[in-house]
Structures are given as structure tokens and as C-alpha cells.
Structure 1
Amino acid sequence: MMLMNNNFDDKNQRDFDLNTERLVQAIDKVRANNSLPPTISQLSKLTGMHRNAISKRAWPSLKLKEIKTERIRKAETSPQPAKQLDPVKVLEDKLENAKRELVYWFNKNLDNEKQIKQLEQNLHRMTDARSYYENTLKQERIKTSELTTQISILKELL
């Protein structure tokens, strides 16, 4: 029984060592390539390990934090080159933004016009319904008045 347990321990240790080596290589790749984000998700993609398995080990997170601080420090210390802006490109970008905004407001206007038409239709229907019910009420009051008069006459006859 002891022999079987030992085999599992050996296999687990080999897997652990292999995953450690994968993590070291992935961290080196992230450190060397600024386009790779220093995140556990990125390490997960590079190693094929689950994020939780990486997170359970404390040292990868520490290494990632070091990489982040290194990148921030480099960005702060390196002078930013003055970009030469092409005036035509700037104007084209502004024109494109203006076109998008125009389309947005045009569509917004169409939506508002549809909504206004719908509200006007609803108002017209409500006005018609109100007139109908006012006339019906007036007729019912007249009938009630006539019936009350007839009841009074019948009471006098009795």
C-alpha cells in the first residue's frame, strides 16, 4: 500500500515541478514582451494552467507585481517623443467624428418624431373617448331625470 501512495506522490511532484517551470518561462515571456499584460489570466493562457492553480502559488503574483512596477517606472522615466501630427489626418478624424455625431442626432431626431406622432395619436384617441363618455353621461343623466320624474308621478298616483 505504501508503494502505491509513493507513486502518486512522485507523479504529483513531477507535475508540480513541470508547472513551476512553465510558470517561470511564462513570466519571462511577459517580462520580455511589453505587449503581454502582466496578469494571472495571461499566465494561464501561456501555461495552460487554470487561474486558480496559479493564484494558489504566491510567488507568480509577486513577480507580476514586480513587472507592473518596472513597466510603470520605465514609462515615467523614458521621455515621451513628441508626436508629429499630420494636420490632414487630424482634420479627417474630426470630420469622421462630426459625421458620426450627425448620424447619431439624425437618428435621435427620427426617433423623437416617431414618438411625437404616437403621442399625438394617443391624445386624439383620448380626446375622442372623453367626448364620447361625456355625451354618454349627459344622455344617462337625461334618462335618469326622466325616470325620476316618472317615479314621482307614479308615487302620486298611488
Structure 2
Amino acid sequence: MTTENLPFSARNAQDFEQITASIESALEEIRTDPAQSATKSNLAVLAGVHRNTLTSRARNSLINGSHAEMLDINEGWPFSALRDIKKDRDIALVAVHQEQSISKDYELKELQKRLKKAKYVASSWFHRTLQLKEELADLTLKLQRLSDYSAKQESRIREGGLEITRLRDTIKKNFRIVE
């Protein structure tokens, strides 16, 4: 059964279009008014919708759009439009200020971001290394125990073989005496 023929389908389509129009209007307001912050929260407030509605729209645009292979929810509309507004504002800001000071600040921020990411990666690898060292110690202990157990079993087998040989010799002697 398709949802096209249901009584609430027309109302749902109308609500969808109305919400889309309010989101587009809010995006336009953010784009034209630099005093409006280009954030998801502000977009939700201006559009009069919940942030989950925006997230749902972004997710649906990824699933229905040509970017279905992307996993980042921030790539879906309307979040991609917010990202573009932020980029446009950054470009305008760079043009207004001196290129040299802005580029130095931008480079510094970029380097700080990269440093933060590198610290995170290094920390992750450090913790993974500690975890692997613990696993190695556990495996070494298990291997030692297995080696000890194997040596004991080999010793028992040798002793059993010697006992069998001794019993065989005793039986042969007893048979010679009987004959």
C-alpha cells in the first residue's frame, strides 16, 4: 500500500512544503544579515522548527540525493547551505581585513586544529599501544603456561614409556622363567 492514496498524504505534503519554505526563508535571512549566526540552532529558531527536523531533512537529502555515499550528516541540505554561508562569510572577512594578518591568524588556527587532531591521533595510538602491550603480556603468560604444561606432559609420556619398557622387560623375564 502506498502512502500516496492515504487521507493524510496531502496534508503531509503541504506541511513538508511549508517547512521547506520556512527553512529557505531562514537561510536567506542568515545569508543577508551578518548579525545572524550561521548555526543549526539559529536556523531552527528562525525557521520555527526543531533541530531534529533539520537533521531529518539533511539525512533525507543524503539518502535521496546524488550524495548517498556520503556519511557526514553535515553534507545534507540545509546544513550544507549553512556551511556555504559560513564559507562566504569567511571569504568576505578575509577580503575586508589585511591579507597578511588574516592569513597568519588563519594559518595559526589551521595549525592549531591540525595539532589538536594530531594529539588526538597520537593519544589514540598511545592507548592502543598500551592495550596491545597488555594483550602481549597476557599472551606471553599463556604461552609460558602452555609451554610448562607441554613440558610436563612430555615428561609424563617419557616416564610412561620408561615404565612400559620396564614392565615389558619384567614380563619377558617372567616368561623366560616359566619356560
TM interval, short-chain normalised: 0.5 to 0.7
| Equivalent AA in structure 1 for residue 126 of structure 2 | F
Q: How many residues align?
A: 108
Percent of residue pairs bearing the same amino acid type: 16
d(CA) in 1 for partners of 2:172, 2:20: 101
| 1:130 paired residue number | 150
In the alignment, what sits opposite 1:31? 21
Amino acid at match of 1:133: Q
- 1:116 is aligned to 136
Q: Using the TM superposition, name which of 20-29 and 125-134 deviates more.
A: 20-29
Among 96, 107, 110, the residue aligned to 2:116: 96
* Cα gap change, 1:133 to 1:89, in 2 (>3 Å): same
TM normalised by structure 2 equals 0.49
1:65-84 maps to which residues of 2 (within 5 A)?
A: 81=88, 83=91, 84=94
Cα distance in 1 for partners of 2:132, 2:141 equals 14
Amino acid at match of 2:112: E
SS at match of 1:33: helix
TM-score normalised by the chain length of structure 1: 0.55
Amino acid at match of 2:14: V
Q: Offset at 1:31?
A: 3.3
143 and 25 in structure 1: CA distance in 2 versus 1, 3 angstrom threshold? closer
- What does residue 171 of structure 2 align with? 151
Amino acid in structure 2 at the alignment position of 1:126? L
